[in-house]
Chain A
Amino acid sequence: MNRTLSEGLCHDPLRGQCGRKTGRDEMKSWRTTLALCVSAAVAQMIAVPVRADSAAGVGEHLGNALNPLTLKTVPEHDPDGLDAWPDERTPTGKLLGWPAKVPETSSAGDGWVYHGQIEIGGMATGGDTDNAWFRTYKDLPDSGLYLNNFSVQAEQLGKGKGYFFEALGGGVGYRDQFEGISLGRYNDWSVKFFYNETPHVFTNRYRSLWSGVGSSNLTLNGVPAGGVGVKNADGTMNATDSQTATVAGLRSAIEAVEDSELSLVRETGGVSFDKYLSSKWRFIGRYSLEHRDGSRPFGAVFGGGGGGGSVEIPESIDYDTHDILAMLRFDDGKNSLNLQTNVSLFRNNIDTLTFENPLYVSTNTVAASSGVLDPTRFTSGRYDLYPDNDFYNIKAEYGRSMPEWYHSRFTATVSLSKMKQNDHLIAPTTSDLSGISINGVSAENNWNTTSALSRQRAGAEIDTRLFDVAFSMRPTDKLGLDTKIRYYETDNKTDYLACNPLTGQWGRLLNDGTGGAFAFPNTSAGNNPAGTLATAYDSAGCNLNAVKALGLVPSSGASNIRNVPYEYSKTNVEFGGEYRLARGQTITGHIEREQYKREHRERDSTWEDRLKIGYLNRAYQWGTIRGSAEVGRRRGDSYDPDPYEEFFSVSLGPEPTADVTNLFSWIHAMKSFRKFDLADRDRLALDLRLDLIARHDLDVGISGQYRQNRFPDSDFGRKDDQTLGTASLDVNWQPSDKLGLYGYYSYQRSSMTQSSIQPNGCVIGNYYYFYSDGAVASGSTPTAPARSGASLVDTVLVSSGNWSSQCSDHAANSPLWTESRKWTVDYDDTNHAVGLGGRYDFGFARLELDYSYVTGTSSLDYSYNDAALGLSSAVVALAGGGMPDSDYNQHTLGLNLVFPISKSVALRAIYRYEQGSVDDWHYAGVAANPVPTDSGSQAVYLDAGSQDYHDNTVGLLVQVNF
Chain B
Amino acid sequence: MSIYSLLVPARAGGRLAAATVLALLAVSCSPSHKGTVPDESNSAHPGTEVDLMNQDSTYIGEKACLECHAHANEHASMGKHLKAFRSNPRTPAQTEMCEACHGPGSKHAADSLNRSLIIGYTRDWGTPVAVQNAQCQTCHKGGGQMHWTSSAHDRAGVACSDCHNPMVKNSLNGALVRSTISETCFNCHQQQRADFHKRSHMPLPEGKMSCVDCHNPHGSSTRPLLKGDTVNDVCYTCHAEKRGPFIWEHAPVRENCANCHLPHGSNNEKLLVAPRPWLCQQCHDASIGHPGQLFNNSQTAASALIGGAQSQRVIGRSCQNCHTQVHGSNHPSGARWQR
Contacts and interface: CB of A to CB of B under 8 A. Distances in A.
Contacts of B77: 13-16, 102
A134 B30 CA distance: 48
Interface in B92-131: 94, 121-124, 128-129
A301 B321 contact: yes
B136 interface: no
Nearest to B165: A96
Nearest to A164: B83
A691 to B, nearest CB: 8
B324 interface: yes
Contact of B213 (A60, A158, A582): A60
21 contacts: A16-B73, A16-B78, A61-B182, A92-B158, A102-B75, A301-B322, A310-B312, A338-B146, A346-B241, A401-B141, A421-B246, A425-B330, A583-B128, A665-B288, A688-B27, A690-B27, A717-B282, A717-B283, A748-B191, A858-B275, A941-B301
Interface in A685-744: 688-690, 692-696, 698, 700-703, 705, 716-718, 726, 728, 730-731, 744
B86 A157 contact: yes
A563 B247 contact: yes
A517 B334 CA distance: 11
A886 B275 CA distance: 10
B308 A90 contact: no
B303 A69 contact: no
A628 B153 CA distance: 13
B45 interface: no
B319 to A, nearest CB: 10
B206 A64 contact: yes
B46 interface: no
B135 interface: no
Q: Among B1, B37, B183, which residue has the most Cβ atoms of chain A within 10 A? A: B37
A406 interface: no
A754 B242 contact: no
B47 interface: no
Interface stretch (A326-334, A765-773, A775-783): A326-334
Contacts of B322: 299, 301, 307, 310
A510 interface: yes
Contacts of B236: 344, 391
Nearest to B325: A383
A70 B207 contact: yes
Interface in A190-226: 196, 198
Interface in A333-379: 333, 336-338, 344, 346, 348
Given A96-B177, A482-B149, A91 B23 contact: no
Q: Among A164, A315, A617, which residue has the most Cβ atoms of chain B within 10 A? A: A617
Given A279-B91, A336-B141, A858 B267 contact: yes
Contacts of A411: 146-147, 149
A285 interface: no
Interface in A585-624: 585-586, 588, 590, 598, 600-601, 614, 616-623
Given A391-B236, A921-B300, 19 more contacts: A16-B74, A58-B214, A58-B238, A91-B121, A159-B87, A162-B88, A312-B316, A336-B142, A346-B241, A668-B287, A676-B259, A693-B3, A694-B3, A694-B19, A718-B282, A754-B278, A878-B298, A918-B199, A941-B316
Interface string B156-193: 11110111010111111100010111110001101101
A276 interface: yes
Contact of A860 (B163, B177, B275, B320): B275
B292 A758 contact: yes
Contact of B194 (A336, A833, A933): A833
Contact of A428 (B165, B181, B312, B333): B333
A305 interface: yes
B11 interface: no
A391 B243 contact: yes
B267 A886 contact: yes
A198 B76 CA distance: 34
B39 A676 contact: no
B286 A669 contact: yes
B308 A878 contact: yes
Contacts of B227: 54-57
A399 B142 contact: yes
A425 B332 contact: yes
Interface stretch (A253-261, A459-467, A536-544, A788-796): A459-467
Contact of A55 (B27, B68, B146): B146
Given A187-B90, A669-B285, A297 B317 contact: yes
B54 interface: no
A744 B196 CA distance: 14
A622 B2 contact: yes
A713 to B, nearest CB: 15
Interface stretch (A116-124, A432-440, A922-930, A951-959): A922-930
Interface string B254-290: 1110010000000111000011101001110111111
B159 A91 contact: yes
A621 B38 contact: yes
Nearest to B39: A583
B40 A619 contact: yes
Contact of A90 (B62, B122, B267): B122
Interface in A32-90: 51, 53-65, 67-71, 78, 80, 82-85, 88-90
A731 B19 CA distance: 12
A14 to B, nearest CB: 6
Nearest to A589: B155
Contacts of A53: 143-144
A186 B155 contact: no
Q: Which 9 A-B pairs have the closest CB atoms?
A: A8-B70, A925-B302, A63-B207, A336-B142, A16-B77, A162-B87, A55-B144, A331-B142, A925-B301
B167 A563 contact: no
B195 to A, nearest CB: 8
Contacts of B50: none
A60 B124 contact: no
B240 A939 contact: no
Contact of A670 (B40, B67, B285): B285
A442 interface: no
B332 A157 contact: no
A827 interface: yes
Q: Among B27, B329, B335, which residue has the most Cβ atoms of chain A within 10 A? A: B335
A227 interface: no
Contacts of B57: none
Contact of A94 (B162, B233, B303): B162
A187 B82 CA distance: 11
Contact of B23 (A346, A386, A622, A677): A622
B85 to A, nearest CB: 8
B33 to A, nearest CB: 9
B147 A470 contact: yes
A584 interface: yes
A903 interface: no
Contact of B216 (A54, A85, A492): A54
Contacts of A158: 87
B275 A102 contact: no
Contacts of A568: 255
B297 interface: yes
A930 B300 CA distance: 11
A858 B279 CA distance: 14
Interface in A477-528: 482, 484, 486, 488, 490, 492, 494, 496, 498, 508-512, 517
A919 B150 CA distance: 45
Given A85-B124, A858-B267, A69 B70 contact: no
B334 A399 contact: no
B228 to A, nearest CB: 9
Given A301-B322, A336-B143, A852 B150 contact: no
A235 to B, nearest CB: 31
Contacts of B80: 186
